[in-house]
Amino acid sequence: MTTDADVIIAGAGPAGSLAAYELALRGVSVLILEKSHFPRYKVCGAGLTHKILNEIPFDVSSVFETQIHSFIFSCGFKEVFSRTTDEPMLYCTNRDKLDDFLLRKAIEAGARVIHGETVMNVTQEAQIVSVATRAGTFRSKLLIGADGASSAVARSAGLREHIMPGLAWEAEVKVDPETLKAFSHTVFLDWGSFPGGYGWVFPKGDHFSIGVGGPASLSKYMMPYYQKLLDYLSSGGVDRGDDLKSEIRNSKFEIRILNTMSLKSWPIPVRVKRSSFHKGRVLVAGDAAGLTDPLTGEGIYYAVRSGILAARSCYDYLQGSAPSLASYSTAVNDELMTELLEANRIKSLFNTVPLKIHRFVRDSNRAWGAFAKILRGERWYADVPGGFGKWKVLWGAACSLSKLISDQKEKRFSKNGFN
C-alpha cells in the first residue's frame, strides 16, 4: 500500500517540529499535520531554560524577547525577596514566534506540513497507520502524536494512562512603559498560596504574561487566585509588614495594567507513573505524553527532548536496526520520567512546608545555587537524593510522608478554598 510519508507527525509544537527536524535531516520523509495556521498563539509563559537551549540543535536566540537576571519571590504574597544573577537564568519568548521558527527549521530540513488539518482518529493495520483528519485519510509507516495536551492520537491509540490533569490561566497584559522597563529582566513568582501551584509574571518585551496554575481539581479557585495576584501587583506588591530582604533596589513588583489582551485557560497534563509511550506504530511525545514538570509546569524541554528521542527510535526502526519502537518508551521512562517523578516528590515536600523552603531559598546561597543550576540544566532533580549521601533513605521517607500531608492539604483547600 502506498503511504503519504514514512512518518506522519500530528502537531507542530516544539515536540512535533523537533521530531520532524531530526527525521528530515536524516533523509526520512516526514509529513506534519497541524490543525492551526502558523504563526499561532499558544497560552504559555514561554520561559526558556538553558536546558531547553542546550537540547535544541540550532540557535534560537533570534526569538528571545527578554533575558531574566532576577527573580522576585513571595510566599502567599508575604516575605518578599529577590535574587539576581550575572548570567541570564531564563529567556522569555512568545510561542507564536518560537513555534513558527522551529517549524521553519523542520521545513528547511525537508519536512512537509499541511496546516488546518486536524487529526481525529488513528487506526493501526499490519504495515501501516491510517490517520483520519477532518478532511480525509493519510497513511504512513509510523505516527508521532505531538498534538498537545488534549492529544487525539494518545486518546485514539490508548496511550493516555496515569495522567494527572493540571490547569493554568494566563493573560497577555499591556502595562505602562515605566513598569515594563523596570521589570524587563525580572520574573515574579508567588508560591505557597495555592497547593500544588503558583502565580507568575513573565516580561515579554512589549507586555507581561501573568498567570496562575495548579492541579485541575482546584480549578474553581484559580480565577480567585488570579484576581488576588492582580490585586497584589497593582496595590504596590510588598506588604509593608513584611521582612523585605532585597538584593536589588526595587523589590516591589508594582504594575499598572493598561489592557488585558487575552485571558485563557489551558490544560497541563502530568504523567505520574512510568508507562508505555508507544503502541505498535504509534508514539506520543511532549504534552501528548503528559511530559510536563509537576513542580514548575515547564514542558518545552520535555517536548523537545521527547521529540528528539521519538525521532531516533523511528529512524532506527525504519533502518531495520530496531525490531520495534520499544526503545522510545524505555528512553522516556529511564531519562524523562525519572526526572519528573523526582520533581513530583519535591513538589510534595514544597507543598508541605512552603514557607520553610521559601526562606531556605532566600537565606541559603547553596539552595539558591541549586535552583539556578536546575534551571541551567547543570543539575537535575534526580541528583537531589544523591546530595543527601548516607541520609538518602531519610529523604525518601520525608518525601513519602510529605506526599500524604500534601494530598491532605489539597483536599482541605478543595473544600475550604482561601478561607
Ligand X SMILES: Cc1cc2nc3c(=O)[nH]c(=O)nc-3n(C[C@H](O)[C@H](O)[C@H](O)COP(=O)(O)OP(=O)(O)OC[C@H]3O[C@@H](n4cnc5c(N)ncnc54)[C@H](O)[C@@H]3O)c2cc1C
Smaller CB distance to ligand X: residue 52 or 399? 52
Smaller CB distance to ligand X: residue 135 or 401? 135
Site for ligand X, rule CB under 6 A: 10-16, 33-36, 42-47, 118-119, 146-148, 152, 168, 170, 211, 213, 266, 268, 286-288, 292, 297-301, 303
Query: Could you check whether the bond before residue 39 is cis, i.e. omega within 30 degrees of 0?
Result: yes
CB of 331 to ligand X, least distance (A): 16
Smaller CB distance to ligand X: residue 30 or 44? 44
CB of 270 to ligand X, least distance (A): 10
Smaller CB distance to ligand X: residue 156 or 348? 156
Q: Quick check: 117 and 36 in contact, CB under 8 A?
A: no
Q: Which whole-number Å values give the CA distances from 260 to 108, 169, 368, in the listed order?
A: 36, 13, 33
CB of 123 to ligand X, least distance (A): 15
As given in the structure block, the three cell numbers for residue 223 are 480565577
Q: Which residue is nearest to ligand X (CB)?
A: 299
- The two beta strands, 129-133 and 278-279, are unpaired
CB of 305 to ligand X, least distance (A): 11
Q: Is 199 exposed, middle or buried (0-12, 13-18, 19+ CB in 10 A)?
A: buried
Name the DSSP letter for residue 219: G
Helix H or strand E encompassing 260: strand 257-271
Smaller CB distance to ligand X: residue 11 or 203? 11
CB of 178 to ligand X, least distance (A): 25
| 3-class DSSP string for 307-348 | HHHHHHHHHHHHHCCCCCCHHHHHHHHHHHHHHHHHHHHHHH
CB of 265 to ligand X, least distance (A): 8
Q: Which residues pair with 266 in a beta bridge?
A: 168
Smaller CB distance to ligand X: residue 65 or 147? 147
